[in-house]
Amino acid sequence: MWLVERMVGRVALVPRDIAPHETTLLPSEVRRALKLSLAEGMLAQVHITLTAGAFLTGLALMLGAGNLTLGLITALPFVIQPLQLLGAWLIERQGRRKPLTVLGSLGRAVWLVVILLPYLPFGTTQRLALLVTTLSVSHALLTICANAWTNWMTDLVPTRLRGRYFGTRNTVLAAVAMVANYAGGAWLDRMRVAGELAHGYALMLGLAVLCGACSTLLLARQPEPPMARLPRLPLREVICLPFRHPEFRRFMAVLVLWNLALGTSAPFFGAHALTVLGISFATLAMFDVITSAVSLLTLPWWGRLSDRIGHRRVLLICMALVVLLPWSWILATPDTLWILFLNAVLAGIGWPGVGLAQGNRLLERAPATARSAYLAIFAAATGLAFFVASTGAGALADLLAGVPWRLGPLTLNEYQTTFVLSSLLRGSAVLLGRRWL
């Protein structure tokens, strides 16, 4: 932790041109806080990378999960998003974001239970039930603090510098994810060949928990700007206020449709790769490495472009770029994996811009007054959309299992069916977004 903080402090990754009138803290305090946030994000990214995506899918499959369970596990972080309403209410009552953020970040430590799962004397059903329960607790804690962290960073980073800073921060995190992905994939392949996959997961997840704990310590050291003194709102008002704002409501509707599109396919890319295409963990990790490497180049550019032409235009451009990406997984076969390598490059161009522009556009649409309420409702609505799509797609995949169907010259399995639906819904969201984003 100390070494990461020192390394960040020696590299000019934080804006220096912070004027006193742009912040309620001293410019030197803001620069220190941004450095701490960068170091904290790097450690948190290791945990996020090693506990999600293909690694989580592989763990669930090792424990005996089916399609419906895979859909549920993928959707858990999203169905719990309504808890952000509780976080928003607590922020409004306490007038501080830091204590809630630090407490909620301890949700990463709950993964200690997951490490023990393969060694407990339970059957498949009991292990999967405990996995879902543990992940629910972890996501609940992290979700309650997510609103507080976003609100905190909104006040901390001057408006003029948000595109530049978050573009740089996301670039660094993409580099960390790249290293963690490849190392994790190579490690699990090695342990799988040795017949010790459970031990491999235990050691890898142990490292993830350690990095998560260090990130919590850095959060506790980061200064917090004072919140604006606003009247305390009752919980009912916190829930209703965002729906009375027409522009925010329309923006949220587009992203609800977008998350329906993403949830339809998200649980099954890894499952299709591992069970149908026979791709190794290392190759799957290489896809993510390529995406992260390309992101290193594109994220700063998207950040600068957002500051010039606006976050709305960048968001529309990047959403359009990823509409057809699911078709790479429809067309790929064990003999044509080059299609997925190309997909990884295109993902590294489009997805970083989506994440960066969506976050900044959300902050533009959410008024400063009761911002926490707007952020919480947005997270709840989009999260529930993702959950409905993901679990519904899991049920559909189970229904279609072993029943291939033809789409022109293509023969599609249950996973590829969800990829087709996802692409169609993504395109619909882009069309709607031209008017409402």
Task: State the CB neighbour count (10 A cutoff) for residue 116.
Answer: 12
How is residue 405 annotated by DSSP?
A: E
Q: How confident is the model at residue 12 (pLDDT cuts 50, 70, 90)?
A: low
* Among 159-168, 219-228, 288-297, the least confident range: 159-168
pLDDT digits (tens, 9 = 90+) for 206-250: 999 999 999 999 988 888 777 665 566 666 766 777 787 888 889
Q: Report d(CA 198, CA 203) in Å as an integer.
A: 9
pLDDT of residue 121: 85
Higher pLDDT among residues 43 and 359, named by residue: 43
Indicate whether 146 pLDDT > 50: yes
Q: How confident is the model at residue 8 (pLDDT cuts 50, 70, 90)?
A: very low
Which residue has tokens 């029943």? Answer: 403
SS3 content of the chain, % helix, strand, coil (to 5): 80, 0, 20
| CATH for the 2-6+24-436 domain, from 3.40.50.10140, 1.20.1250.20, 1.10.357.10, 2.40.170.20 | 1.20.1250.20
pLDDT of residue 19: 47
pLDDT digits (tens, 9 = 90+) for 170-192: 778 878 888 898 899 889 989 88
pLDDT of residue 27: 66
pLDDT of residue 414: 87
pLDDT of residue 343: 94
Compute φ and ψ for 405, nearest 5 degrees. Answer: -140, 165
* Among 15-24, 310-319, 387-396, the least confident range: 15-24
What rounded mean pLDDT belongs to the chain?
83
Higher pLDDT among residues 133 and 157, named by residue: 133
Mean pLDDT for the stretch of residues 255-272 = 90
Pick the closest to residue 62 from 192, 224, 216 (CA basis).
Answer: 192
Q: Which helix (H) or strand (E) holds 410?
A: strand 410-412
